[in-house]
Chain A
Amino acid sequence: MNVHPTILAMPVAIPLLFGALSLLMQGIRTPHRVRVQQILAGIAIGANLILALLLLSYTLSGGRMSFQMGLWPAPFGITVYIDGLSAIMLTTVGLLSALIFPFAVATMDAERARLGFYPMALFLLMGANGAFITGDLFNLYVFYEVLLMSSFVLLTLGGTPSQINGGIRYVVLNLMGSMMLLLAAGITYGTLGTLNMAHIAVRMGATPYLVQAVIAGLLLIAFGAKAAAFPVFFWLPSSYHTPHPAVTALFSGVLTKVGMYSLFRTFPLFFPWLLDEWQPLILTIAGLTMVIGVLGAFAQPTIRRLLSFHIISQIGYMFMGLGVAMAPTPYGVGFGLALAILFLVHNQIVKTALLLGGGAVELETGTGKLNELGGVVALRPFQAALFFLAAFSLAGFPPTSGFIGKLGLLEVTFSSGSWVIAAVSVFVSLLTTMSMIRLWQYVFWGKPHSKYRMPKKLATQGASMAMTVPVLILVVLSIAIGVMAQPALDAVQVAASQVIDRVGYVETVGPELTASDLQIPFGNYPADAVAAGR
């Protein structure tokens, strides 16, 4: 494939362009305004998905690409960079938004649609895409803010008291996280004199450990807060259940995963040795995140509250993968990272399926409280079956993607000697099953509740299709990843090997950067562990 690298600007430019056009529509007092905005959003989301697939096929064949914004040379201008990991994230987020879109169109109430749901969703997409492809630390902060601001706005769209309450907490706690990121970027500039991620990677080896620890720690907190890891996850359970179900589904597929992506990107690039040295810390975070998340899910009274705690729990598994990312395994270094990426993708798919399915139940029955629900399986057998499959995929039953992820992580942790975390993950897996059964039995089995009321808008055939087909596609995808696991594993292995290949990254961004002005050795870890200055 031979394309001009300026295509790398498009994942950001397309949603922005169409979002801006949508905003222009906002002032026109026409009854068709929402319709026009839907069409614009549809075009943007479709184009974005096609673009993402194009980039995915390019990177998974081993390619990577970078583009300098405004053609300013490497350490000075802003770099955008794409490799397998970025492309996978672009694709999954593009796919999820494309699937949530019809759900949103069918179920969004007129009030929220009129207030600009569609442009906001486009800006969320833009923020996520920007964060996935950027190669500049400060630019990452900017796109985090775009992401945050669009999520604030989407979260509070509709303005019910619970949304506002959850929203304030969400905003304030996330603000602290992004403050840490901003300070980390500032310190990086102050000590390393640069913001370009490739340039940072080259110079990081020469930095005193003190500075490294501060930068790495602040990044860990900032990204961990975004990913909802222990102990900075409080914003998630207090807010995720409040907005429209489509928004919750979008959030679960995008927001926490951007945090995880950033960890996968920055740590192996900047300080791969810290992944080894701080492994106990990372694995402790992983274990506590898993356990607290799943325990939280036990005590929840509504569908989406329960599912949002599971998001936290699953983040723990990804942290576990990060913890063993650089651990030597029989499958080679970086295999842990590959599985963490696979788990991330699996989680995006399944979690969105569950939240869409659960959201559909909430919308159709008018309640999300577990003890008011029951017998939905009789009302909506097909949706129930899909939910069942997704729930058991989340719990890691074969032959779904969850099983592949769980098995792989178990193999890697056992073979790298991290027994405790492996045991914890197995135990959490059991608790996940228990909690999913609890949800399933409350909502779908038992006696149907007589007082269910379905809004007229949702009672149509089209709306029902729009609520079911996305879930169907996601469930099929999850099972496909499980059944055809090898291609998926190959893909994430390519991505992981590109992520841990620091030299390759720097050469792609700017070949002249490898010859550092600091005369410090720079190489891949751990092959060149000594050379890397550690």
Chain B
Amino acid sequence: MSALALCLLLLFLAGPIFWLLKPQRSHAFAWLAALPPAAVTLWQALQMNAVASGSTLVERYAWAPTLGLEVALKLDGLALFFGLLITGIGTCIAFYTNYYLEGDRRQGYFYLVLYIFMASMLGLVWSDDLLTLFVFWEGTSITSYLLIAYKSEYKGAVEGARRALIVTTAGALAMLAGMVLLGLEAGTFNISEILAEPGIATAAITPVALVLLFLGAFTKSAQFPFQFWLPGAMSAPTPASAYLHSATMVKAGIFLLARLHPAFSDLPLWFWSLFLVGGFTMVLGAVSAIRYTDMKALLAYATISVLGMLTMLLAFQEEYALEAFVVTVLAHALYKAPLFLSAGIVDHAMGTRDLRRLAGLARALPVVALTVVLATVSMAGIPPTMGFLAKELLLENFYDLFEHSETLIGGLGFAIAALSAVFLGGAVFTLTWEAFFRRKPDDEAAHLHHAPSFWFAAPALLLTILGAVGALFVGSYEQVLLAPAIAAVAGEPIEVHLKLWHGLTPVFFASMGILVLAVVVFLARGLFRRLYARVPTGFSALAVYDATVDAIYRLAYRVTTVIQGSPMAPQLSVTLLAGVAVVFYAVFFTDGSTSRLLDSLEFPTLTEWAIFALAIIAAITTVRARSRLSAIIALGVVGVTVTLFFIIFGAPDLALTQLLIEVLTVFLLVLVFFHVKPDTPIAHDRREPFRLLVAVAMGFFGFAVVMVNHLSQVGESISPYFIENSLELGKGSNVVNVILVDFRGYDTMGEITVLALAALGGYALLRSTQMHALRQRINAARQMLASEPEPAKSESGREAGHD
């Protein structure tokens, strides 16, 4: 059985096929596009009963067993729940896209990326292996990058995409490290096996691994302080925003936490991280949302708030918390996606989605207005919607804790939840009222220029109706859909009985009170917006991010200036000093006592002393010489002394070669150096001491390298073999020549290749006709540069700066 893999493959392959089909040609493709996700949804729906009865579908495919890498898929309650959301909403999005991008030549490309994203997301929630999860996780990162930057000509889109990718990649890499640590500790990367490992929660490495995993989950799910990328990602086309930020990508982090919940939720580290980070994010998102007049930005902050809520709920092990978690995921998907989609329709129809320019759309876009109102009702938590059920459960959880001795946490949680709910309600009321019902916009009004067809709005309407009335029938699907998911998060079967109506409990009254306060916030929206306008912009996580990236660029710039901007001498010094350091280390920091000094000859003869002195004088003359000619001659003298050494120590071939080479080198140097500009005279600059230091160090290096040879002769040299066999086997009595052309002729072959290459290089560089033409052109260019006071480069620099 490989149904899971087949489903993923179907979605993956749908992308390229659609790309080839050029779907922008007709709206009929909307139906075709919805088909693959709909099929997968249907298949999953058929599995619901089986999964609810406790049987899970597991598939494992070997990938790289050596690295513990495999593709493991598992369809349990949680996977099925998320999977249904992904493909279900995906069906609506796929349908909607065709209308949203009508006539766009790149629609096929959008579908290509969208399907791959969908498949990755589905794979992510189905995976039962940490590394598999990571693979799909990165798949969603890349595809969302492409989706966000769909309008790649606009800087805002590209910039938002970049920020999203960098932040999520940073988290993902931390997460990968955490996964590797956890996997090495557990001896497997399989999630089910890790969760079943008894000692895993208490292992020494677990806190480190968990923190790294949290980094991944928090960045992906836009938790504080990483929430700033999400609003920037709103520059994506609306179908992508709706999909990525309502039901799918941002839930990936939440999903990971829910997956790990059974094994690690006992740890205090787990509780406090999730509770504090989630709670803070929840309040921050909710309070910020009302500030924005861009519909999508407002919704983005509302999404951040809900994501914080979900994270906070996962901190708890209580039944209510987990029920609230699952129901909130469902409710959020069903109201946030329609809101986003409606914003897209408004944008499409009016040419803007800025609330300041919109008013009274209810008349022009009645279907959209209906959609938005229903979604608003759910989002604000007005009974009998799904949103109301979620809010009830959330408050119930904290009230329960408050009653059962956990006063502090319960009270705090209750306050946080209530505060966020108030502001979320206020924000969504603002959105609905200002766009659809008020009479007059704040700003210049936008005009309807393109009325949407019914089918454009249909997917949003469908979803919103499900969200609005779904809670009424909760009893009919809670056992097959919600209970298995809750059980999977809890790690054990839990009996679930959800009721929409709990009676007139304190929680209900609190809920009603929140609604009233939400209306108050809505009415006072002008005041809040003015207040927010006073908050300095530098005081945000985005500023911290920018400062970090800025610091990296600065550092890079500094480092590069040092590396690349420097002249050659420092670079050369570093290379030479590296060699010196090696010898220095070996001579002074290793145990040299095992070595003994060997020497084959006793004392140098007088001739040798004389040659030695001559060589040193000549070398120093080369350095100190004032004229080019004397320097070249001095170098030649050094060469001659080397030749003399060769003669004395029995190397006539070497001596002959060295002499001839010396002659040719002098020829070359004279030919060249009398036509190039003379060096600037030596000035005693501030680098002089350093130069001397390097020179002395190199002197030590040379001395030590020769002496090392005489410290220890470990084995017999192989050279007697050559002397013995030269005549008989090599047919020659000049052993050096026999070595060159026979024993080690292969070396010589390489050597003459070097010469051949040198000849070719010299030939290529020295074609005089071409070179002089070039020189004349360069002189002309130089004169032009000199006459032009402002070079062109500074202009381009300014342009870039303005950008």
Say whether A16 contacts B749, CB under 8 Å.
yes
Say whether B555 contacts A295, CB under 8 Å.
yes
- Which residues of B have CB within 8 Å of A235? 571
Say whether A211 contacts B744, CB under 8 Å.
no
Say whether A486 contacts B579, CB under 8 Å.
no
B285 contacts the other chain (Cβ, under 8 Å)? Answer: no
Inter-chain CA distance A370–B138, complex, in Å, is 27
- Which residues of A have CB within 8 Å of B579? 176, 180, 217-218, 221
Within 8 A of B (CB), among A142-158: 142-143, 145-146, 149-150, 152-153, 156-157
Inter-chain CA distance A426–B717, complex, in Å, is 48
The smallest beta-carbon distance between B690 and chain A, in angstroms, is: 16
The smallest beta-carbon distance between B576 and chain A, in angstroms, is: 6
B568 contacts the other chain (Cβ, under 8 Å)? Answer: yes
Q: Mark A388-423, 1 if CB is under 8 A from B, else 0.
A: 000010000111000110011011001100000011
- Which residues of A have CB within 8 Å of B561? 299
The smallest beta-carbon distance between A464 and chain B, in angstroms, is: 21
Within 8 A of A (CB), among B122-144: 131, 134-135, 138-139, 141-142
- Which residues of B have CB within 8 Å of A145? 750-751, 754
A105 contacts the other chain (Cβ, under 8 Å)? Answer: no
Say whether B557 contacts A299, CB under 8 Å.
yes
Inter-chain CA distance A189–B717, complex, in Å, is 8
Say whether A192 contacts B743, CB under 8 Å.
no
B444 contacts the other chain (Cβ, under 8 Å)? Answer: no
B787 contacts the other chain (Cβ, under 8 Å)? Answer: no
Say whether A237 contacts B563, CB under 8 Å.
yes
The smallest beta-carbon distance between B773 and chain A, in angstroms, is: 12
- Chain B: residues with Cβ within 8 Å of the partner, total of 101
Say whether B764 contacts A115, CB under 8 Å.
yes
Say whether A146 contacts B712, CB under 8 Å.
no
* Segment touching A, from B163-171, B515-523, B602-610: B163-171
B721 contacts the other chain (Cβ, under 8 Å)? Answer: yes
Q: Which residue of A lies closest to B155 (CB)?
A: A446
* Segment touching A, from B65-73, B299-307, B353-361, B456-464: B65-73
Option from B68, B181, B715, B749 in Cβ contact (under 8 Å) with A518: B715
Known: A397-B142, A414-B180, A445-B152. A119 touches B760 (CB 8 A): yes
A77 contacts the other chain (Cβ, under 8 Å)? Answer: yes
- Which residues of A have CB within 8 Å of B742? 70
Say whether A426 contacts B559, CB under 8 Å.
no
Inter-chain CA distance A83–B745, complex, in Å, is 24
A206 contacts the other chain (Cβ, under 8 Å)? Answer: yes
- Which residues of A have CB within 8 Å of B194? none
Q: Mark B429-450, 1 if CB is under 8 A from A, else 0.
A: 0000000000000000000000
Say whether A76 contacts B722, CB under 8 Å.
yes
Known: A76-B721, A407-B131. A172 touches B711 (CB 8 A): no
A434 contacts the other chain (Cβ, under 8 Å)? Answer: yes
Say whether B718 contacts A493, CB under 8 Å.
no
Inter-chain CA distance A130–B68, complex, in Å, is 37
Within 8 A of A (CB), among B559-596: 559-561, 563-564, 568, 571-572, 574-576, 578-579, 581-583, 585-587, 590-592, 594-595
A75 contacts the other chain (Cβ, under 8 Å)? Answer: yes
- Which residues of B have CB within 8 Å of A152? 757, 761
Say whether B705 contacts A213, CB under 8 Å.
no
- Which residues of B have CB within 8 Å of A194? 715, 717-718
Inter-chain CA distance A306–B574, complex, in Å, is 23
B162 contacts the other chain (Cβ, under 8 Å)? Answer: yes
Say whether A214 contacts B586, CB under 8 Å.
yes
Say whether B800 contacts A371, CB under 8 Å.
yes
Say whether A116 contacts B760, CB under 8 Å.
yes
Inter-chain CA distance A23–B64, complex, in Å, is 48
Inter-chain CA distance A238–B721, complex, in Å, is 46
Known: A16-B749, A486-B66. A437 touches B162 (CB 8 A): yes
A485 contacts the other chain (Cβ, under 8 Å)? Answer: yes
Inter-chain CA distance A146–B165, complex, in Å, is 44
Say whether A193 contacts B716, CB under 8 Å.
yes
Known: A142-B751, A221-B579, A414-B180. A426 touches B174 (CB 8 A): yes
- Which residues of B have CB within 8 Å of A221? 575, 578-579, 582
The smallest beta-carbon distance between A309 and chain B, in angstroms, is: 8
A380 contacts the other chain (Cβ, under 8 Å)? Answer: no
Say whether A489 contacts B564, CB under 8 Å.
no
Say whether B764 contacts A159, CB under 8 Å.
yes
Say whether A146 contacts B753, CB under 8 Å.
yes
- Which residues of B have CB within 8 Å of A172? 568, 572
Q: Which residue of A lies closest to B62 (CB)?
A: A486
Q: What 3 pairs across the A-B complex have the smallest Cβ distances?
A: A217-B582, A190-B709, A298-B556
A: which residues have CB within 8 A of B? 12, 16, 19-20, 23, 26, 69-70, 72, 75-78, 115-116, 119-120, 123, 126-127, 130, 138-139, 142-143, 145-146, 149-150, 152-153, 156-157, 159, 161, 168-169, 172-173, 176-177, 180, 183, 186-187, 189-196, 199, 203, 206-211, 213-214, 217-218, 220-221, 225, 231-232, 234-235, 237-238, 292, 295-300, 330-331, 371-372, 375, 377, 392, 397-399, 403-404, 407-408, 410-411, 414-415, 422-423, 426-427, 429-431, 433-434, 437, 441, 444-447, 483, 485-486, 489-490, 493, 517-518
Given A430-B169, A431-B552, A441-B162, 14 more contacts at CB 8 Å? A70-B743, A127-B750, A145-B750, A146-B757, A173-B568, A214-B704, A217-B582, A218-B582, A221-B575, A221-B578, A398-B138, A429-B173, A437-B165, A445-B153
B: which residues have CB within 8 A of A? 62-69, 131, 134-135, 138-139, 141-142, 149, 152-153, 155, 158, 162, 165-166, 169-170, 173-174, 176-177, 180-181, 184, 549, 552-553, 555-557, 559-561, 563-564, 568, 571-572, 574-576, 578-579, 581-583, 585-587, 590-592, 594-595, 704-705, 708-718, 721-722, 742-747, 749-751, 753-754, 756-758, 760-761, 763-765, 771, 778, 796, 799-800
